[in-house]
A and B are shown apart, each in its own frame.
Chain A
């Protein structure tokens, strides 16, 4: 084993490590440094300490964005996981059982394939698609129907208190299928005897779901919550493409990624944008740590 080991190890690691340090580690490290400067890209950056962070505290659009992340963070996982759990339960345990073999409802395979498909599409493409779906006149998919029946068109993306929820709906539309497949994999590994025993004791489907499936799926749920939470902290592509002028109307759908992009590449406020990036980083970190702590509980061995 020893012969020529080090040249080989170094040879194999050199390219990946170099690439990674140059394009990932170095920028991350520099982000903290730039966030302490008033750099605008032209002259040399000046050290301003925590000034950018102090300005963040008074920045209305920053707090709006943080608030939207809060809404996304609660709504996106809650809605997606509820729908996905319901569907995956139907698809895996909802049907009849024969010979101790749990079966899903009729057509389970078809549903799983269809539900998962949006996951394959790029978010930017989906955003364009839903721009058409949501269009405020008779050419929109939804308003075309509503207006045909004589209703007033719903201004999905234009009404400030509706816009964010319209965007959340699209994110749910895309995500549900992924979590149906994920939960299905988790449910498949629950032994059939447990369901059988519960049914012997007269458990209904609803009881089965809450007393058997849910506790045994806890670890997978936790993973799903973290994943969706991380998605809630991004949401750049969907907001940038779908919402009215990038986070509008009037900042009603803006997210931190959008503000970072705007400050950096439209206003050239590189120092300030980096400070927002650092804030986003700590928010994400806090969320991940909190979730893992709050959802920690004895996992059931089976």
Chain B
């Protein structure tokens, strides 16, 4: 808060209508106090928003250690003791552990598949001339314009007819297919910017197209690949509607979002509230840790679509 007492704008000259006898504007009060008020109010607003963001999450973490009586009688105090058993109950009895591992498996496979297939297609579409290139490119990119909900009913039956309903394979394939438009759109633009001299040199040296892609172009495209991978991981981790439709009858295959939402929606008055808070903590805490480590990459990755 010390900033607000400093002279805000050393370069400020008096306004045209102002007193011409005050050189440099140092002695003038109005722009300075205006800036001070602005900075002061700004600080308050920023701090208030930070509190609004942090408090619900922090409150959840605290409640995860309480018992039901404490949650209802003293929601604002610290827990009387650290009840770790809430977490073990959430992890095993409420199957949050199962859901968590399912999410890791599904998102791991689908992000890997998305990156592999997406970069292959993007590379070919960006750097090779052939008949139908533009048509295929626009076929993929048009997918960005369609809401998934338009396709939900037929998609359910496509997956069902392939015998992939209630399987992780089905979910993974669907995630990959729906992640391809953005991945290809972004990576094709990225592959286009790579210099062609390296590729030509590789081909002259007898390097095949496939080897050229995996050993030369992929490493060169690393920054772009990382951005898109982060975008896909966070998007697929957050998916709710697709697993809800595609895994509805196989509770042991559910992913984290679906599992926790189910605990919450079906919780009646006899619900295990502290277990639910612990389950929420299990879902949120890893994201905080990952975010703390990869904060800059995540911000860049998630906004990459909009900046383009």
A56 close to chain B: CB less than 8 A: no
List the A side residues contacting B53 at CB < 8 Å: 114-115, 117-118, 173, 177
Q: Is A176 an interface residue (CB 8 A)?
A: yes
Residues of A104-130 at the interface with B, using a CB-CB cut-off of 8 Å, are: 105-107, 110-125, 127-130
Known: A9-B124, A94-B42, A120-B291. A204 touches B35 (CB 8 A): yes
CB contact list, A12-34 vs B, under 8 A: 12-13, 15-17, 19-20, 22-28, 30-31, 34
Residue B52, interface by CB 8 Å:
yes
Chain A, residues 145-182, CB within 8 Å of chain B (1/0): the string is 10010000000000000000000000001001110011
> A122-B257, A139-B75, A141-B55 are known contacts. Are A281 and B291 too (CB-CB below 8 A)?
no
- The main secondary structure of chain A at its interface with chain B is helix
Residues of A within 8 A of B146 (CB): 24, 28, 281
Does B210 interact with chain A (Cβ within 8 Å)? yes
Give residues 124-151 of B contacting A (CB, 8 Å): 124-125, 128, 130, 136, 139-140, 143, 145-147, 149-151
A9-B128, A17-B121, A28-B151 known; A105 vs B39 contact (CB < 8 Å): yes
Judge if B29 is at the interface, Cβ distance under 8 Å: no
Main SS class of interface, B = helix
Contact A199 B124 (CB under 8 A): no
Q: Is the CB of B208 within 8 A of A4?
A: yes
A105-B46, A124-B238 as given contacts; A202 in contact with B18, CB under 8 Å: yes
Q: B265 near A: Cβ within 8 Å?
A: yes
Give the contacting residue for A277; candidates B13, B118, B149, B234; CB below 8 A.
B149
A34 and B155 alpha carbons, distance in the complex (Å): 12
Q: Is B117 an interface residue (CB 8 A)?
A: yes
- A50 located at the interface, meaning its Cβ lies under 8 Å from any Cβ of chain B in the complex: no
Q: Name B208's closest neighbour in chain A (CB-CB).
A: A4
Q: Evaluate contact between B258 and A124: CB separation under 8 angstroms.
A: yes
Chain A positions within 8 Å of B11 at CB level: 97, 196, 199-200
A-B contact pairs, 26 of them (CB 8 A): A8-B210, A9-B128, A12-B213, A23-B159, A27-B152, A28-B150, A28-B154, A31-B154, A105-B3, A106-B2, A114-B50, A116-B298, A122-B239, A122-B283, A124-B257, A125-B283, A129-B280, A133-B56, A185-B303, A202-B15, A265-B156, A273-B153, A277-B147, A277-B149, A280-B149, A284-B145
Known contacts A110-B50, A122-B238, A261-B244; 18 additional CB pairs below 8 A are A25-B143, A31-B153, A91-B46, A107-B46, A111-B49, A116-B299, A122-B239, A124-B258, A124-B260, A124-B261, A125-B284, A182-B306, A200-B12, A202-B18, A240-B240, A241-B261, A265-B245, A277-B147
A-B complex: 10 closest residue pairs judged by Cβ atoms? A202-B15, A122-B238, A23-B177, A27-B151, A27-B154, A30-B154, A124-B257, A144-B75, A8-B209, A16-B121
